[in-house]
Structure 1
Amino acid sequence: MTKSGYIGSYTKKEGKGIYRFVLDESKAAIEKVETGFEIEASTYLARKNQFLYAITKEGERCGIASFRVENDGELVLLNKCLDSVEGTGCYISVSDDGEYLFEAVYGAGIIRLYELDSATGEVVSLIEELKHNYKTGPHERQDHPHVHYAHQTPDKKFVAACDLGTDRIVSYSFNENGYDVAAISEFEAGFGPRHIEFHENGKFAYVVHEIANKVSVTQYVNGHFEEIANYSTLPEEFKGESKLAGVHLSHDQHYLYISNRGHDSIAVFAVNEKGDELEFVEIVPSGDEFPRDFNITEDDNYLVCAHQEGKYKVTVFERHPESGKLSLTDGQHHAAEGVCVIFD
């Protein structure tokens, strides 16, 4: 049996933009990696039904490209909305109803809101481009706001935006007129919140902090995130440079996986039944350099990881459902500058 997916990439060196890969589960290995669509700076992807959305730019103009995914996985370009000159994004997601797209822009410290046509898949317009203006943290990388994530909350009331530069999560309500601030949650100075993974019960969320290399277990209530505890994603004896990156829960909600760039590893934590506590399981090498993102197959049997640097390997891990542990099974294929992994 095979599963297919896409890898988004930088295009600063050898990256092509969007790659398509096929995973052969019978061999626990990647069957092939090919260029899915050559497009500039497609550093994050989002899938909604038969449509795929990608960050892109042309010269100074930045925004989103939309595609229709054909039955054979081919991508057909629908349109582009390049209505900003404030820099390319680093994260995108689509609202549950398919009518809005949220984009986080790290460099400029802004969050964008787009209108989508849920029937055709096209990006209709850029509704708003909102700049963060909060007190920054003490770390040298927190020179100004850096929005790194924007995603709808499980209650579907808000979009939560992680600001690495200001140690905050800002929750917004949104509509056809734009964003309105609904709640602000602050974390310890210098932590640098990057991404959020929500438990399926909607009551707890796991906030990963890029600068501190920690994950916070938080209670989520009506746009607010309150920290319960935090855990390091690195070995205690490690003293080198590392930057936390991707985070994903297994679909059974029993294990949390977090990638470390620099230490070049994936940390594994067990999640208790309630969702409010983590227990360390293991940290395993990712198989190459700078593992910015990975993803887990829907059946929870395999994890596929892309690498932004080194040999750009696409590594495959067999996942052991009972223990959550990972075993490296493949690393023969490559996706240059790969930084985002999604499955069909």
Structure 2
Amino acid sequence: MSFKTFLVGYGDNQGNGRGLYSVDVSNKSIQAKLIYPCEMKPGAIITTDNRLYMSYLGNNKEPGILTFSLDEAFNLTFLNKQTIPFFITSFGRINHTDHLLGSSFYDGVDVVFETADEIQIKSVDKHLYRPRSADIRQTDTHPHHICAMRDGLHAYSVDMGIDFVSFYSIKNNELHLIKDVFIDCPLGSGPRIMRISPDNRFAYLLHEISNSVAVYALRDFGIDEIQRISTLDGNTVIINSAAGCAMTADGEYLLITNRGENTLVLFKINSATGTLTVCDRIRTGLTPRDLYINDHQIIVAAQASDCLQLFEIDTSQHRLKLLNEVAGVSAPVGFLN
């Protein structure tokens, strides 16, 4: 199996190694190369058919987006740098349009912007704060993950700061809040990322602060919680923040990373009921931040170990296996959306 992707690295304290990396996997080996070093703080990345966009925050706190052309071989050519009003920390696609979704936990907003020659913000929704826990991550709004649903007509936004998931309709490339559809999470749980099953029947919401996954049944935008399961080994008492959350394309498995326990956790999804069963838990490098899945191979970005690790799911045994790793990737934090 061979595939390519991109990754953002934060670099060291002097900014060395900060920027955009290309990642190549071939024959169970992995390589990574810094292809676009940058002085500014990189944010999120996303691709369209022939473009890659990377958000950034400049040294003067001026936010913007870098645009690259992207060919079929995954080669990039820098095109331009544009300032925008918000530092985008999460991207999402809208099907079959020249617009993208974005959210910013710095600015507490969700946006739609046009990806023409000049990027233009078309719609803005400001999150409203409500007091939650004393955790520093909940002292303000913190929209962490935005994603369009498969119909291309709706989207959801996960806000860690207010324990809330908002749902939108998308009309004329504008966000319209659906006020009677939402997920109100338990006090202080800190929702971070949500994934939806390929058949649109179930949603899986990872909570960073409470280190748990909540499973919801989706019924014509009615939402019922059916399970809540810990991401941690119950025999271990440790300070932890759940971080990465991704689903295999076949909808068979959900994978979670734990920063603190420093593990990659494999959950088997019951296709009939949507419920999760822990199948395996494997050690990773320090501070596994994000993960990227291609078929049944997984790349984990171990931020504090400055490395990427390549794992594989043994689907016959429902187990994880470490295949390879590559060092020298400075503080890897976020894969291509």
- The TM-score, its normalising length taken from structure 1, stands at 0.89
Change (3 A) 1:223 1:46: farther
1:306 counterpart (301, 304, 321)? 301
In structure 2, the partner of 1:103 is: 102
Displacement of 1:101: 1.5
Displacement of 1:11: 4.5
Q: Is the 8 A contact 2:198 2:250 kept in 1?
A: no
Change (3 A) 1:12 1:110: farther
In structure 2, the partner of 1:56 is: 56
2:126 counterpart (113, 127, 131)? 131
In structure 2, the partner of 1:68 is: 69
Counterpart-to-counterpart distance in 2, 1:127 and 1:80: 19
Displacement of 1:271: 0.4
In structure 2, the partner of 1:331 is: 325
In structure 1, the partner of 2:282 is: 284
Displacement of 1:48: 2.1
Whichever residue aligns with residue 78 of structure 2, its letter is: L
Q: Structure 1 stretch 252-261 or stretch 139-148: which is displaced more?
A: 139-148
Whichever residue aligns with residue 287 of structure 2, its letter is: F
In structure 2, the partner of 1:258 is: 256
In structure 2, the partner of 1:115 is: 114
Change (3 A) 1:224 1:45: farther
Change (3 A) 1:45 1:297: same
Counterpart-to-counterpart distance in 2, 1:11 and 1:64: 19
- The TM-score, its normalising length taken from structure 2, stands at 0.91
Q: Is the 8 A contact 2:153 2:171 kept in 1?
A: no
Counterpart-to-counterpart distance in 2, 1:68 and 1:255: 33
Change (3 A) 1:200 1:163: same
SS at match of 1:238: coil
In structure 2, the partner of 1:149 is: 145
Counterpart-to-counterpart distance in 1, 2:273 and 2:8: 30
Counterpart-to-counterpart distance in 1, 2:265 and 2:133: 26
Displacement of 1:275: 5.2
Q: Does 1:173 align with 2:169?
A: yes
In structure 1, the partner of 2:25 is: 23
Counterpart-to-counterpart distance in 2, 1:309 and 1:98: 38
Q: Is the 8 A contact 2:43 2:57 kept in 1?
A: no
Displacement of 1:214: 0.4
SS at match of 1:309: helix
**Aligned-residue RMSD, C-alpha:** 2.1
Whichever residue aligns with residue 111 of structure 1, its letter is: D
2:199 counterpart (198, 201, 205)? 201
Q: Is the 8 A contact 2:268 2:276 kept in 1?
A: yes
Q: Is the 8 A contact 1:304 1:341 kept in 2?
A: no
Whichever residue aligns with residue 173 of structure 1, its letter is: S
Displacement of 1:223: 4.6
Displacement of 1:213: 0.5
Whichever residue aligns with residue 34 of structure 1, its letter is: K
Counterpart-to-counterpart distance in 2, 1:42 and 1:123: 20
Displacement of 1:12: 6.0
Q: Is the 8 A contact 2:12 2:330 kept in 1?
A: no
Counterpart-to-counterpart distance in 2, 1:185 and 1:224: 10
Counterpart-to-counterpart distance in 2, 1:159 and 1:82: 25
Q: Is the 8 A contact 1:261 1:291 kept in 2?
A: yes
Displacement of 1:191: 1.0
In structure 2, the partner of 1:267 is: 265
Any gaps of 5 or more consecutive residues in structure 2?
none
Displacement of 1:229: 1.0
Structure 1: 4+ residue segments shifted above 4 A = none
In structure 2, the partner of 1:296 is: 293
Displacement of 1:155: 2.8
Whichever residue aligns with residue 66 of structure 1, its letter is: T
Displacement of 1:111: 1.7
1:3-23 residue CA offsets vs partner (Å, 9 max, x unmatched) = 221111224633321100211
Q: Is the 8 A contact 1:155 1:202 kept in 2?
A: no
1:20-47 residue CA offsets vs partner (Å, 9 max, x unmatched) = 021122xx221x3111222333332222
Displacement of 1:230: 0.8
SS at match of 1:44: strand
In structure 1, the partner of 2:37 is: 38
Displacement of 1:63: 3.1
2:236 counterpart (230, 238, 242)? 238
Displacement of 1:186: 0.6
Counterpart-to-counterpart distance in 2, 1:268 and 1:42: 29
Counterpart-to-counterpart distance in 2, 1:275 and 1:139: 35
Percent of aligned positions that are identical: 22
Displacement of 1:240: 1.5
2:154 counterpart (139, 155, 158)? 158
